[in-house]
Amino acid sequence: MTCPLLYRFRVIDKLPEKPSAAATRGTVVHSVLERLFDVPAAERTADRARALLRPEWERLLRKRPELAELFADDPDGARLGGWLEEAERLVDRWFTLEDPTRLEPAERELYVETRLDSGLVLRGFVDRLDVAPGGDLRVVDYKTGKAPAEQYQGQALFQMKFYALVLWRLRGVVPRRLQLVYLGSGTVITYDPDGEELLAVERKLLALWDAIRRATESGDWRPRPSRLCDWCDHRAVCPEFGGTPPDYPLPVVAREYPQTTA
Answer yes or no: is pLDDT of 233 > 50. yes
Looking at the chain, the whole-number percentage of residues with pLDDT higher than 70 is 97
Instruction: Name the residue ranges covered by the structural domains of the chain.
Output: 4-102, 107-207
Residue range 107-207 forms a domain whose CATH class is alpha beta
Burial environment of residue 111 by CB neighbours within 10 A (0 to 12, 13 to 18, 19 or more): exposed
Answer yes or no: is pLDDT of 201 > 60. yes
Contact yes or no for 192/179 (Cβ under 8 A): no
pTM over 0.85: yes
| Among 57-71, 99-113, 146-160, 239-253, the least confident range | 146-160
Q: What is the DSSP letter of 145?
A: S
pLDDT band of residue 152 (cuts 50, 70, 90) is confident
Q: Look at residue 151 in the predicted model and tell me its pLDDT.
A: 85
How far from 34 is each of 60, 130, 141, 243, CA to CA, in Å? 14, 13, 11, 41
pLDDT band of residue 257 (cuts 50, 70, 90) is very low
